[in-house]
Amino acid sequence: MRPGWDEYFLQLARLVASRSTCLRRQVGAVLVKKERIIATGYNGAPRGIRHCLEVGCLRDSMGIPSGHRYELCRGVHAEQNAIINAAYYGVATEGAVLYCTNQPCIICARMIVNAGIVKVVYGEEFEDELAREFLREAGIELVLYKAGGEKI
């Protein structure tokens, strides 16, 4: 059966996540305008910086639990990388939809708001209520999409 757009782009985000170099969580993101991909991103170290796969996880070595102290990480989040990649290649993100394997964190939510993204469709929860509040306050549609087409 032919997948709908949300399912299709979330499947692509999962494939993009397979490029992740994070030892804790593999996340992928796909930015879309008018059903066309404008950029992708996965979580990993910035260009020219050694990846966690090579040097280990800084957050693990410091005993930092998931969801805390985001700034103490070698990696750039998938959502950030998708927005950065669009900017790097001169592609406007205003009016785009972001498909992501996981709900964005508060840092990514702020970037999503300022990038002019109008909708975020994600496949798995990430406990960051502040991020959800920011996205809703900015008028960005937030959709949890489970496999099989169930929208929550």
Residues marked active site are found at: 79
Q: Supply 109's token pair.
A: 């939510």
Q: Supply 64's token pair.
A: 């930092």
Distance CA 79, CA 13 (A): 10
What angle is formed at CA 56 by the lines to CA 52 and CA 61, rounded to 5 degrees? 125
108 marked ligand binding residue: yes
Residue 95: CA count within 13 A, CB half-sphere: 6
51 marked ligand binding residue: no
Distance CA 29, CA 78 (A): 5
52 marked ligand binding residue: no
Query: Which residues sit in the known binding site for Zn(2+)?
Result: 77, 105, 108
Query: Which residues sit in the known binding site?
Result: 77, 105, 108
